[in-house]
Copies of this chain bind each other. A is one copy, B any other.
């Protein structure tokens, strides 16, 4: 990788920062955040503005350009990559290190008195705007919204915003019709005494209307907003997508409907003016519900007194709790997939996946890594680093796909020769952590962060650990990472776990320069039977949806308790039953023999 040359681009950007064509007054600094207008984790190529201006294309980072400086804030996962991809015009700000200034502090230290700092109000979330704006104001500066995105003005070959065809999902996949979802949403709105609800996250729009798209790689979503009133439904979406008869039929656009279920289709770009009109027409006590992560532009469209902001929207929470059709779909989606450079293995895994019924696309870029590459947690094989799989090194494969009936995400760590005792020891600690979470019983209403230490306890006992969370929420044919639940030492305001939620369970251990180990299943939160029932609260546990053998060759059986040993044997028995039956049906006898071999019961001596 050679760094991107940005001298000319930065010169152009600094010109438009002063150009009356784009800014009312010159701005002395311009902020380029990572995200798009929908706070998406994965973004479309046309939204990769920070990568365009800097060369750094990791998933997280914020660029700030002043007249004299260009600085990039990113976290520990990306220090190396950012340093490789950026030229000398850029200063790397290593977040999480003690001496690294915050963006606000840095701005205050470099800006001349009374400066203006510009940002695209559609890209910056309202909560970030508020924090940044306050810090700058306290130091005598101003954060100002710049309507036209300044990167777009210099990005001559910027790709078009994607506008791919939509997929309609019928009741057999979704379990609930979009009409019923609207009814439930309006009930929540009535409960909170709000009149309007603004849907800004792409996966929330997709879930609400039982539609999917492919505008963003790995995420089956499409660019759209929705504004739901008590008697109106407005969908803001572009292109010919609404000309597709299947979509028209699905949304009943040409049917005679009660007015409160009639969908008004409007141009994607008209959301701001429509929302401003809503805001202008409100009477006292009429409130509009928005996520507090919605863009500053949309939040500002509603006068402050009329805003009702919450960290999690009712759609986010409803979406996290899967209904019977969705959990059945997730179960189906997890039944077969097959399993010899890293790239070939990744391609092969993708090929096997794509042969399965209802396959749509991958749910994220496959991580296929061997030996020391495995220790790079977000490794994605490219020709320069591609290593040959060998019988001497540990191989880690983290892959997933989007099926019409669900989203998968599984990691297995394998050795094709003879693992060292140390490799087995580490693998077994990771497995003990995986089991400790998967088999945990906990009260209804427990938040995921309270389970995180169970995954680490066996590693901690020996002085080991891993520097990532243990699990994330998983969408149902939606984003492979979704809120509001998860399992992490970070106590972000996660919502309590409840039956029907789906999360990943993926502890690991990574030894720099040597190997990486991770064991990941997608698991469903289910009610647990317990001997007693304190305060009638009920208990929960997890059911693994992923059914892929865990390589027994890597396990040091004597480090397992009998209970842990039984867990592995029961899990492998289930793999045999469910996956074996499907392999048999598909006539894949070689795979079946492999399955039987890999699921032989463990015996403690």
List residues of A whose CB falls within 8 A of some B CB.
138, 305, 440-443, 449-454, 457, 459-465, 489, 491, 530-535, 537, 539
Say whether B464 contacts A534, CB under 8 Å: yes
Q: Which of B305, B440, B530 contacts A457 (CB 8 A)?
A: B440
Q: Please measure, in the bound complex, the distance between the C-alpha atom of A543 and the C-alpha atom of B567, giving whole angstroms.
A: 33
Q: Please measure, in the bound complex, the distance between the C-alpha atom of A533 and the C-alpha atom of B454, giving whole angstroms.
A: 19
A305 to chain B: which residues have CB within 8 Å?
Answer: 138
Given contacts A457-B440, A460-B441, A465-B443, contact A489 B450 (CB under 8 A): yes
Say whether B463 contacts A530, CB under 8 Å: yes
Q: Please measure, in the bound complex, the distance between the C-alpha atom of A459 and the C-alpha atom of B441, giving whole angstroms.
A: 9
Q: Please measure, in the bound complex, the distance between the C-alpha atom of A462 and the C-alpha atom of B454, giving whole angstroms.
A: 17
Residue of B nearest to A539 (CB): B463
A450 to chain B: which residues have CB within 8 Å?
Answer: 452-453, 489
Given contacts A450-B452, A452-B450, A453-B453, contact A531 B440 (CB under 8 A): no
Say whether B465 contacts A534, CB under 8 Å: yes
Interchain Cβ contacts under 8 Å between A and B, 11 examples: A138-B305, A443-B465, A450-B452, A450-B453, A454-B457, A459-B534, A463-B530, A463-B539, A464-B532, A465-B537, A491-B491
Q: Please measure, in the bound complex, the distance between the C-alpha atom of A229 and the C-alpha atom of B463, giving whole angstroms.
A: 43
A533 to chain B: which residues have CB within 8 Å?
Answer: 463
Say whether A531 contacts B462, CB under 8 Å: yes
Given contacts A305-B138, A489-B450, A491-B449, contact A530 B462 (CB under 8 A): yes
Say whether B443 contacts A539, CB under 8 Å: no
| A96 → chain B closest CB, angstroms | 12
Residue of B nearest to A512 (CB): B535
A459 to chain B: which residues have CB within 8 Å?
Answer: 534
Say whether B534 contacts A463, CB under 8 Å: yes
Q: Please measure, in the bound complex, the distance between the C-alpha atom of A441 and the C-alpha atom of B456, giving whole angstroms.
A: 10
| A335 → chain B closest CB, angstroms | 30
Q: Please measure, in the bound complex, the distance between the C-alpha atom of A491 and the C-alpha atom of B533, giving whole angstroms.
A: 25
Q: Please measure, in the bound complex, the distance between the C-alpha atom of A21 and the C-alpha atom of B558, giving whole angstroms.
A: 80
A491 to chain B: which residues have CB within 8 Å?
Answer: 449, 491
A532 to chain B: which residues have CB within 8 Å?
Answer: 462-464
Q: A453-B453, A465-B537 are in contact. List 6 more A-B contacts (CB 8 A).
A: A440-B460, A441-B460, A442-B460, A453-B454, A463-B531, A463-B534
| A83 → chain B closest CB, angstroms | 20
| A598 → chain B closest CB, angstroms | 29
Q: Please measure, in the bound complex, the distance between the C-alpha atom of A474 and the C-alpha atom of B533, giving whole angstroms.
A: 33
Say whether B441 contacts A461, CB under 8 Å: yes
Q: Please measure, in the bound complex, the distance between the C-alpha atom of A267 and the C-alpha atom of B535, giving whole angstroms.
A: 53
A441 to chain B: which residues have CB within 8 Å?
Answer: 460-461, 463
Q: Please measure, in the bound complex, the distance between the C-alpha atom of A531 and the C-alpha atom of B462, giving whole angstroms.
A: 5
A465 to chain B: which residues have CB within 8 Å?
Answer: 443, 534-535, 537
Say whether B539 contacts A460, CB under 8 Å: yes
A530 to chain B: which residues have CB within 8 Å?
Answer: 461-463
Q: Please measure, in the bound complex, the distance between the C-alpha atom of A503 and the C-alpha atom of B534, giving whole angstroms.
A: 27
A451 to chain B: which residues have CB within 8 Å?
Answer: 453
Most chain B beta carbons < 10 A, residue from A138, A454, A457:
A457
A539 to chain B: which residues have CB within 8 Å?
Answer: 460, 463
For the complex of A and B, 8 pairs with smallest distance between CB atoms: A463-B530, A491-B491, A463-B532, A462-B531, A450-B453, A464-B534, A463-B533, A465-B534
Q: Please measure, in the bound complex, the distance between the C-alpha atom of A450 and the C-alpha atom of B534, giving whole angstroms.
A: 23
Q: Please measure, in the bound complex, the distance between the C-alpha atom of A461 and the C-alpha atom of B539, giving whole angstroms.
A: 9
Residue of B nearest to A429 (CB): B532
| A560 → chain B closest CB, angstroms | 13
A442 to chain B: which residues have CB within 8 Å?
Answer: 453, 460
Most chain B beta carbons < 10 A, residue from A138, A305, A450, A460:
A460
| A157 → chain B closest CB, angstroms | 43
